[in-house]
Structure 1
Amino acid sequence: MQLGMIGLGRMGANMAQRLQRGGIAVTGFDPGAEARERAAAAGLPVVDGLQALLQALPAPRVLWLMVPAAAVDALLDELLPLLSPQDLLVDGGNSWYRDSQRRAQRCGQARLDYVDCGTSGGVWGLSEGYCLMLGGADDALARLRPALQALAPAPDRGWAHVGPVGAGHYCKMIHNGIEYGMMQAYAEGFALLQKKAEFALDLPQLAETWRHGSVVRSWLLDLSAEALQRNPQLQGIAPYVQDSGEGRWTVNEAIELDVPAPVITLSLLERLRSREDNSFADRLLAAMRAGFGGHALKRSADG
C-alpha cells in the first residue's frame, strides 16, 4: 500500500514513520519548509507541493490529512480540483464531527471517499501505536486496513470502524471529554495529598505504588508518576492549562442531548479558571463576604 501524508508536524511525521515501519510506502508534504526538512532527515520521502504529492501516488490515491481542524476546509479547496474519482481522503486530526459530515458530503459530490479518524496516542504513538476510531463506508475502510494495522498497537486491536462518517471524530470527542475528567480527578487527589502536611506524604512513591494493582491505575497515572519523580514539587510549571476544543464540543453535545455530564463540564471550567491571574469573580466574592459578614479583605499588591 502507498499513501500521502499531508501535515508533517510531530504527530503527522510520527505516524508516517510508524506506517513505514509497518511496510506502508509514505510520501509526505507540509507547507512549512522546516517541517519537510525534519521529516526528510527522519527518512521520510517528501515533496514540496500538493501537485507533486499527487503525481507521486498511484491511482486511486489515498491521502491522510494531519492538519489543524481550522485548516481542513482551505486544504480541501486546494485539493478537490486536483483529485480524481475514487481517491480517498482521511482526516486524522481533531475535527468537529459535524464538519466531518459536511466535508464528506462535499467530497461525495466529487465522487471521492472520505473517512474521519479520531486519533489518540500523542507523542508515544510512534513507539506504542495509536488508538484509531474510524467513521466511513465499509469499502473505504477495507482499503485502509493495511495502514490501520500498521498504525495500531497490534493488527487486531487498538482500531475500530465505529460507524458512518462523523462517528470517528464523535467518539474521539467524547474520549477527550472523559480524559478531561480523569485528569482533573488525579490533579485534585494529588493536591489533597500534597496539602496534608502532617503526614509528609511522598507523592512520587505513592503514585508509583498506585500504578501496580490499584483500581485507579492508568496511563495518565503513569505519566503523573513520571512527572512527580522528575519534579516532586512541580517547580517551574505554571498553573495554566490549555484546552484543544474537544472538551467544549463534548459539553455542548451533552447539553444538546440532555445528558448530564457534570464531571466533564466542571473539568473544562477548571481549565478556564486556571488561566485567570487576577480573577474578578474571586475578588467580588471577597467583597460580598466583607459586605454581609464583615470578613477581613486581603489587599492585593495593586492597592
Structure 2
Amino acid sequence: MELGMIGLGRMGANMAQRLVQRGHRVVGFDPGAQARERAAQGGIEPVESLADMIERLPAPRVVWMMVPAGDPVDRTIADLLPQLARGDTIIDGGNSFYKDTVRRGTMLAEHGIAYVDSGTSGGVWGLSEGYSLMVGGDEAVVDRLRPIFEALAPAADRGWGRVGPTGAGHFTKMVHNGIEYGMMQAYAEGFAIMQKRADFALDLGQIAQIWRHGSVVRSWLLDLSANALEENPTMAGIAPYVSDSGEGRWTVAEAIELDVSAPVITLSLLERLRSREDDSFADKLLAAMRAQFGGHAIRKE
C-alpha cells in the first residue's frame, strides 16, 4: 500500500521505515529538515509540505499521523481537511485522549473521511520487533487497511487487532499505559527493597536475569530492567525524577468516572508526581506533626 506519514520523529520514522522494509511506499512529512533527511535514509520519500504529500498519494489516500496529543492533532486535521476528499482515511497513531478521538471521528465522518485510531506500543524496539496495535474504527475501513497493520505488527496474525469503533483503540492504549505504570512501580519498589538489604550484597542484575526465565513475574519490562541494571548497576547519574505522558492521569480519571477501584495505577501515578518534589512541603509538615504529638526529633536540612 501507499500512505503518508506525518511526524518523522523517532517513533514515526521507525514505523515508516518498517513499512518500507515490508514493501509499502511511504511519503513522509515533518516540519524539521533534519527529520526529513534522516527519514530519507530509511527509504521514506520526504516532502516539505502537507500539500506535496497529498499530491503524491493515490486516491483514496491514507494518512498516518504521529504528532503530539491535543492541539497539534486538531491543527494537523484542520490543515489536512481542505486537501482531502471523500473516501480518504486519517489514522492517528499517537496517544490522543479517546474522547477527543471520538469527537474528531464524528466531525470527519460528516466530510466522508474515515478516522481510525491506532493505540501503538513498542517504543524504540518496534522497528525490529514489531508494534502492538490496538485499532479503533469502522470495521470495513480497518479491514481495507489490514496490510498496513500486518506489516507493523510483530506478525500478520498477532500483536494487532480491531478492538472496537473509533475511539476504542486510544481508550485501550490509555488503559494499557495505566497498567504499565503499575508494573513499572512494582518492579522499581521490589528492586529498591533488595538494594537496601546491604548486608546481603545482592547483585540486582543477576536477580533480574534469573527472574527473566521461568519466573511468574517475567515480562518485557523486566527484560528492560535487566538491561538497565547491567549498564548501570547503581543508577549513577540518573536523577530521581519520573515523567509521565498523561495517559496514566487519563486512566485514573476514567476509573473514577466509571466507579472502578484502581489503587495500584493511581498510587503509581502519584509516586511519579512525588518524584518531582525536590523540596516537599508535605514531608516537612509530616515531620513537624510527629514532633508535635510524639516529641519525635526533626532532622535538620
TM-score by length of 1: 0.98
Which residue is 2:93 aligned to? Answer: 92
1:31 deviates by: 1.3
Alpha-carbon offset, residue 135 of structure 1: 0.5
Deviation at 1:239, TM superposition (A): 0.5
Q: Equivalent residue for 2:159? A: 158
| Alignment partner of 1:167 is 2:168 | yes
Are 1:250 and 2:255 matched, yes or no?
A: no
- 1:55, distance to aligned residue in structure 2 (A): 0.5
Write the mapping of 1:1-303 to structure 2, written as runs, cut at 5 A. 1-70=1-70, 71-300=72-301
Tell me how far 1:238 sits from its aligned partner.
0.6
Divergent runs of 4+, >2 A: none
**CA offset digits 1:89-123 (Å, max 9, x no partner):** 00000000000000001100111001011000000
Letter in 2 for 1:5: M
In 1, are the aligned partners of 2:20 and 2:43 still within 8 Å (CA)?
no
Q: Is the 8 A contact 2:184 2:221 kept in 1?
A: yes
SS at match of 2:145: helix
**Cα distance in structure 2, aligned partners of 1:54 and 1:67:** 17
Once the two structures are TM-superposed, the CA of residue 23 in structure 1 deviates from its matched residue by 1.0
Q: Could you tell me which amino acid in structure 2 is paired with residue 243 of structure 1? A: D
Residues of 2 paired with 1:14 and 1:3: CA distance?
A: 15
Secondary structure of 1:170's match?
Answer: helix
Task: Determine the C-alpha separation between the residues in 1 that align with 2:270 and 2:179.
Answer: 14
Mean alpha-carbon deviation: is it higher for 137-146 or for 248-257?
Answer: 137-146
SS in 2 for 1:116: strand
**Structure 2 counterpart of 1:274, one-letter code:** S
Distance 1:51 1:283 in 2: 57
User: What secondary structure, in the 3-state scheme, does the structure 2 residue paired with 1:132 have?
Assistant: strand
Between the two proteins, the alignment pairs up a number of residues equal to 300
Q: What is the letter of the counterpart of residue 4 of structure 1? A: G
Shift of 1:22: 1.2
8 Å Cα contact 2:5/2:64 also seen in 1:
yes
Report how far residue 172 of structure 1 moved. Answer: 0.1
Equivalent pair of 2:29/2:49 in contact (CA under 8 Å): yes
Q: Distance in 2 between matches of 1:111 and 1:147?
A: 21
For 1:177 and 1:253, how far apart are their aligned partners in 2? 11
Structure 2 counterpart of 1:166, which letter?
A: G
8 A Cα contact 2:6 2:66, kept in partner: yes
Supply the distance in 2 between the matched residues of 1:74 and 1:5 (Cα, whole angstroms).
16
- Measured after TM superposition, the shift of residue 43 of structure 1 is 2.5
Runs (5+) with no aligned partner, structure 1: none
Structure 2 residue identity aligned to 1:216: V
- Deviation (angstroms), 1:297: 1.0
Bigger Cα displacement from structure 2, 39-48 vs 256-265: 39-48
CA RMSD of aligned residues (A): 0.7
Q: Structure 1 residue 32: deviation in Å?
A: 1.5
Q: Secondary structure at the match of 2:46?
A: coil
Per-residue CA deviation, residues 38-87 of structure 1 (Å, 9 max, x unaligned), is 11133311100011000000001000001001210011111101110000
Shift of 1:29: 0.4
Shift in Å, 1:139: 1.4
TM-score computed with the length of structure 2 as normaliser: 0.99
